[in-house]
A and B are shown apart, each in its own frame.
Chain A
């Protein structure tokens, strides 16, 4: 008995690096929570009521954890894709636009081909993925051809995407649903054909679409692809040291482009699956992406590009979103959630960065000592 516990303790011993990282995380999170507490108290509401409302809205009230899961799926997909790009050293920050273009691409099949069918569903999601990939690929082409920074072009493409999406909703010949005899005040598409909707899973009154298990499977698949295949290894080499990659015969263009295309495709898939999974009553509108792309990117940054870590982080972000709906009911400003989320993101950014720096510095110091 004694021996078992001793060996268990032995296995649980953490390296000083890990302890330091954990300490930093705790310190930063406590700091972020303290600031949000002060903010909430200064706004004249109480901290405990805010937390209760958040937890109620995200998990406790009937049907709410299904709502949280429903919101998790697109965040996770976007995060997995951005993780792939970042691993290859490419800063794609235009997921918001890629997601919107993906949803728009999907809408062309899902909402227009009216007698829907499972084949149309698959085609629609595939078209969404391709549209997202092409939108991101455009930024890749601009970089490899004319050296226009990807950070900039992906951002510019976000604004372009939202205008194009709005344009498709002004023409009956494109996506706009023209209701005869009524002025078209709502600029939105027709609803996704009944036959091409994603299946809905219902557990104890919690409803979410099939996109949740699909997103999970994709996250697991990418975790394997990145850690166990040549492709994943070469992406990592490219990201860590592009010169070494070149010497080792890893083509910048080929692997960089593949990473960009994958990240765009994931965002596009997320958009198309949101549409097929019932987001905004199965109708596409120009504000459809509603910041899911930005949030997904932040999830990936917080999860340090790991598809597996992205799962819990995506759940937290989704919970903040679904929980914030209950805040206004409790008389608390919903914008506080935005502030709290930003604080949380910053608090989660800092520890790994500092810990990594300190680790490298110590390694450096050891090296110079030996010399």
Chain B
């Protein structure tokens, strides 16, 4: 096998950045997975990620406290999610139109407000977990990260438990599959949908903040640039299962990491525009090849109104 192919599989730094990039996708994808199981599609996860990213940067500048900044990021995400949820699942406005409006608005606001604040942020400390981080190749990637990244390890099982093992989760899935039946059995369909979107907002906001402190260290309004959309792609790629969505995140994270590491691995530079297009191109190609033919939630992207099919 040629040397660079071996490197693509065994390169330690490549795995580390794969994991770092997959984490931000995973935050958004796990939240969006819940929301899609309830039958909604929120392209505003992009706005929620950016809002969390920006909110965390402002909070950290005002008061250098990582935990507080991450919480603020999460709250901003919830706020944006609340707009999406109320406008599209209470006022019944088009969910894609609302999502798009929010994405454009947030991008404009962030680009505009950024120079107004003298943003000073920094990376959080690396917290290697003893023993586990000594595992060759994968150890440093999974357990040798900056500490905010580890939050994903709490959110994944929590989300799984919420959706698969609680009454609330059962109702959420029922709402996504057959809202009429769910409604008849006494579930407030649109309330459940709004709650799942708020949860997606919380996770995406936290994800944006974690991305700031665990990966980039400095706010740029272009940092998020389509990560929310790729997270949605990961949910669809995974056939609306949590496992699959996470696998999608790792895969798309790997491609994103290739974008950063390929020149070093190959030993020569590639055109930067072509490299930047790699995640999107790969997402399309991967979905083309592997999109599972599983059934999507039956009521996905169909607004619910009582008494109407």
Interface of A toward B, CB cutoff 8 Å? 91, 93, 142, 146-149, 151-153, 155-157, 159-160, 163-164, 166-167, 170, 291, 294, 297-298, 301, 333, 335, 338-339, 342, 345-346, 349-350, 353-354, 357, 360-361, 364-365
Contacts and interface: CB of A to CB of B under 8 A. Distances in A.
Given A294-B100, A361-B305, A159 B280 contact: yes
A156 B229 contact: yes
13 contacts: A147-B291, A151-B96, A152-B236, A156-B226, A160-B284, A298-B101, A333-B112, A335-B108, A335-B109, A338-B112, A339-B109, A342-B101, A350-B87
Interface centre among A93, A148, A157 (most CB of B within 10 A): A148
A335 B280 CA distance: 29
Tell me the dominant secondary structure on chain A's binding face. helix
B62 interface: no
A349 B97 contact: yes
A166 B308 contact: no
B151 interface: no
Contact of B277 (A91, A164, A349, A354): A164
A214 B293 CA distance: 44
Interface residues of B, number: 44
A13 B287 CA distance: 54
A91 B43 CA distance: 12
B236 A148 contact: yes
B271 A170 contact: yes
Interface in B268-309: 271, 273-274, 276-277, 280-281, 283-284, 287-288, 291, 293, 301, 305-308
Contact of A147 (B92, B109, B225, B293): B293
Given A163-B277, A357-B305, 14 more contacts: A93-B96, A146-B291, A147-B293, A151-B301, A152-B229, A153-B284, A155-B229, A156-B233, A163-B276, A166-B276, A170-B273, A339-B109, A361-B305, A364-B308
A345 B103 CA distance: 13
Contacts of A333: 112
Contacts of B225: 159
Nearest to B91: A350
B232 A345 contact: no
A349 B105 contact: no
Contacts of B276: 163, 166
Contact of A152 (B93, B108, B232, B307): B232
A342 B229 CA distance: 20
A8 B308 CA distance: 37
